[in-house]
Amino acid sequence: MGRATWFEADGTKRGEWTEEEDRKLVAYIDVYGIGDWRFLPHKAGLQRCGKSCRLRWLNYLRPGVKKGKFTPHEEQVIISFHSILGNRWATIAQQMPGRSDNDIKNHWNSCLKKRLERNGIDPMTHQPIINLDVKTQSFNTDCGSSSCSTASPSSSSFSSGSSRLLNKIATGISSRQHSVDRIKNILSDPTITSINGQEEGLELLKIDHGKMLASDDQEDDFLMWDEEKTRHFMEEIGVMDFHTNGVYNPSSSAQYGVYETGLLGGHLN
DNA sequence: AAGTGAAGCAACCGCGGCGTT
DNA sequence: CAACGCCGCGGTTGCTTCACT
C-alpha cells in the first residue's frame, strides 16, 4: 500500500518508503535521537524531506507504535473523546498509547464515522440525526422498527426548543474550530441555563437515544460511552476546572443538565 | 474469472502556532 | 513588536486489498 515513488526536481524522494530507508531512519534515531528534522534526512543518508521522515517515524517506526485492528474498547475511547474534543486527533492519540493520530484519524474517517451514521447518529454532534423529513431518514430503512418508531416522532416533538439548544452545544463542541476554550465558552453561555426548563425534552432524548442504541447489533455496543472515563478526562484537560470562577460547576446537575444526560459523552442507557 | 465499488492504510499538502531573531 | 522559519496538526489524496456481483 501507499503511494508510488517519485522524485522532486531537487532530488527529494517522495512516496512509499522502502525497508532500506526505514532501517536508515531507525538506525540514525537510535544513535542520535530525534533532533532537527530539517537536517536529519541528510545526516541519516536519506533523500527525504524532514517532514516525511517525521511522519514515517511517528506513525510507523517509533517504538511501541501499535498496528492492526482497533479493539471495541479502543473504538469506544475514540468516540467518547471525539464527542468532547472533535477532530483533535493528536489530543485523542495522547490518551491512547501506541496509536498515532494519523491511525486514529484514518479509522474514524474510514470506519467509525460511517458506522455512527448508519446508526442514525450525527458523527459531528454525536446526537441522533433529527430529520423532519421522515422519508429520507437513513435509519428508517436500516434499523429495527423499535428505533424507527422512537427516534423521529418524539425527537421532533421538542426539536424546536431544546434540540436547537442541544445542537448548538454539540455543534460547538465538535466543530473543526472548537477547542477546550470553546467548550468552556459554550457551557458558560447564559442561554444554556434555559435548559432548566427543558428537562422533559432531555429525558425524552435520553430515552430515545438509549432505545436506538439498544436496538443496534452487538458489534456496536461500543456506543455505550463510559461516562466515568469521559468525566475523568474532562477534569484532566481542564474542562471541569473553571467552576472556580463561578461560571460552571459540574456538580450542579440541576443547573446544567446537559452533561448529566450524556450529551458530553455520558452513557445513554 | 473479471469487473466494480467500498474499505483500509500510508503519505502528502497546507495552514496555524510558537519560538527565535 | 514584526518578520521569519520550523514543527505539529488536521484534511485530503492515492494506492492496495477485499468483498460482492
CA–CA separation, A52 and A7 (whole Å) = 13
- How many separate helices (H) and strands (E) can be counted in chain A? 14, 4
CA–CA separation, A151 and A207 (whole Å) = 9
User: What are the phi and psi torsion angles at A265 (to 5°)?
Assistant: 120, -5
**Domains assigned to chain A:** 6-61 (1.10.10.60), 72-260 (no CATH)
Residue percentage of chain A with pLDDT more than 70? 47
- How is residue A140 written as a grid cell? 428508517
Torsion of CA A250, A253, A258, A259, to 10 degrees: 50
Please say whether the beta carbons of A143 and A215 come within 8 A.
yes
Model confidence at A65, pLDDT cuts 50, 70, 90, reads confident
Give residue A172's pLDDT.
Answer: 41
Give residue A129's pLDDT.
Answer: 73
Model confidence at A131, pLDDT cuts 50, 70, 90, reads low
Strand C close to A31 by CB, under 7 A: no
Could you tell me the distance in Å between the CA of residue A234 and the C1' of nucleotide B4? 45
Instruction: Give pLDDT tens digits for A221-243.
Output: 444 445 565 566 555 554 443 33
Residue A14 Cα distances to A37, A80, A234, angstroms: 16, 36, 40
Q: Indicate if the pLDDT at residue A198 is higher than 80.
A: no
Q: Which nucleotides of C are covered by protein (CB under 7 A)?
A: 6-17
Q: Indicate if the pLDDT at residue A212 is higher than 70.
A: no
Q: Indicate if the pLDDT at residue A41 is higher than 80.
A: yes
Could you tell me the distance in Å between the CA of residue A35 and the C1' of nucleotide C6? 12
Mind giving me the DSSP string for A132-173? S-GGG-HHHHHS-HHHHHHHHHHHHHTTTTHHHHHHHHHHHH
Could you tell me the distance in Å between the CA of residue A54 and the C1' of nucleotide C7? 10
Give residue A63's pLDDT.
Answer: 85
* Maximum Cα–Cα distance across chain A: 66
Give residue A6's pLDDT.
Answer: 84
Give residue A234's pLDDT.
Answer: 57
Higher per-residue pLDDT: A162 or A79: A79
Amino acid at A222: F
CA–CA separation, A130 and A162 (whole Å) = 12
Higher per-residue pLDDT: A125 or A221: A125
Strand C close to A87 by CB, under 7 A: yes
Model confidence at A266, pLDDT cuts 50, 70, 90, reads very low
What value does the mean pLDDT take over residues A247-253?
31
Please state, rounded to an integer, the average pLDDT across all residues of chain A. 61
Give residue A162's pLDDT.
Answer: 36
